[in-house]
Amino acid sequence: MIFDVVTLSPSMFQGPLDEGILARARRSGTVAVRVHDLRQWGVGPQRQVDDAPFGGGPGMVLKPEPMFDAVAWIRERTPAARERVLLMAPQGVPFDRAAAFRLAAGYDRLILLCGRYEGIDERVRTALADEEISVGDVVVSGGELPALMVIDAVARQIPGVLGNALSAAQDSFEASGLDWPSYTRPKEYRGHAVPEVRTSGITPRSTPGGGAPPRRRRARSVRI
């Protein structure tokens, strides 16, 4: 899977992409993440990427030309048979586990467009993006943090990214439930003991995911 990110703040991606699961997936070649500075396609000698909104109002709006040119450049340099252009936007479809699975299974490349300032020219939404993604009913300063969430969640669904194939299958929200409580040693800590069901001798060999049998695990998951 290839993720191409178009952003005004490319440095925001350096830390998260260089740690943990995403870093290992990138090193192994299972996942590729390429971050593109929108200013590279800015208009004129000043590389302008924003302008005042028609009709007035506060803030600046990202111009359409840089976004369209960035996507055209990406497509020209690295064609992809199965591609989806995602616009990070508060009015988008709520992003959930089902969306992550759909994007991982259905596409070879995702192009993520990150807005900033007061917003982005509407023509990017209507004529360039294939769909809009929202990560919740909250306003953040730009699309970079939502894009990172999408990358991480989609990457977890790609075979070979997680060390244990059962990890994704037992994630929260799988089968409409949350993952059940986890415990480790010590058995008792500050008066709080691990439930007997977790210390009753059931081993990882006795059930596919370890811990409680699947039926009990599902029941406990739903109650959370």
Separation CA 7–CA 116 (nearest Å) = 8
Asked if residue 136 and residue 210 are part of one domain, the reply reads no
Last residue of a domain, one of 156, 187, 202: 156
pLDDT band for 21, please (50, 70, 90 cuts).
very high
**How high is the pLDDT of residue 200?**
78
pLDDT tens, 28-86?
999 999 999 999 999 999 999 999 999 988 889 999 999 999 999 999 999 999 999 99
Question: Are 101 and 202 contained in the same domain?
Answer: no
Q: Are residues 96 and 135 in the same domain?
A: yes
Task: Calculate mean pLDDT across residues 88-97.
Answer: 94
Q: Are strands 188-189 and 131-134 parallel, antiparallel or unpaired?
A: unpaired
Q: What are phi and psi of 111, to 5 degrees?
A: -105, 120
* Predicted pLDDT of residue 18: 93
pLDDT for the residue numbered 202: 57
Task: Answer whether residue 45 is part of any domain.
Answer: yes
pLDDT of residue 220: 55
* pLDDT for the residue numbered 182: 85
Structural domain tally of the chain?
2
Same domain, 19 and 74: yes
Last residue of a domain, one of 113, 130, 156: 156
In a shared domain, residues 146 and 94: yes
Euclidean distance between CA atoms 145 and 4, whole angstroms? 15
Same domain, 205 and 123: no
Q: pLDDT > 70: what percent of the chain? A: 82
pLDDT at 204 (0 to 100): 47
Q: What is the pLDDT of residue 58?
A: 87
For residue 177, what are the domain limits? 170-223
Residues 130, 55 within the same domain: yes
Determine the residue type at 92. G
More confident: 221 or 186: 186
pTM for the predicted model, two decimal places: 0.81
CA end-to-end span of the chain, whole Å?
A: 33
CATH of the domain at 99: 3.40.1280.10
Among 192, 215, 190, 221, CA closest to 202: 215
| 134-162 per-position pLDDT tens digit | 999 988 999 999 999 999 999 999 999 99
Of 48-52, 79-83, 95-99, 196-200, the range with the lowest mean pLDDT is: 196-200
At 207-216, the pLDDT tens digits run 544 455 555 5
CA angle 25, 30, 33 (to 5 degrees): 70
Does residue 164 belong to any structural domain of this protein? no
Instruction: Answer yes or no: do 186 and 89 share one domain.
Output: no
Catalytic annotation, residues: 90, 118, 156, 171
Do 148 and 199 have their domain in common?
Answer: no
Residue 161 lies in a domain: no
Are 27 and 114 members of one domain? yes
Dist CA 47 CA 85 (whole Å): 23
Quick check: 9 pLDDT over 50?
A: yes
Asked whether residue 59 falls in the same domain as residue 30, the answer is yes
Together in a domain, 216 and 117: no
- Residue 180 forms part of a structural domain: yes
With respect to residue 30, please indicate whether it lies within any of the assigned structural domains: yes
Residue environment code for 102-137, b if the CB has 16+ CB neighbours within 10 A, otherwise e: ebbeebebbbbbbbbbebbbeebbeebbeeebbbee
Render the burial of 50-78: b for 16+ CB within 10 Å, e for the rest.
beeeeeeeeeebbbbbbbbbbbeebeeee
Instruction: Average the pLDDT over 88-114 and give the result.
Output: 96
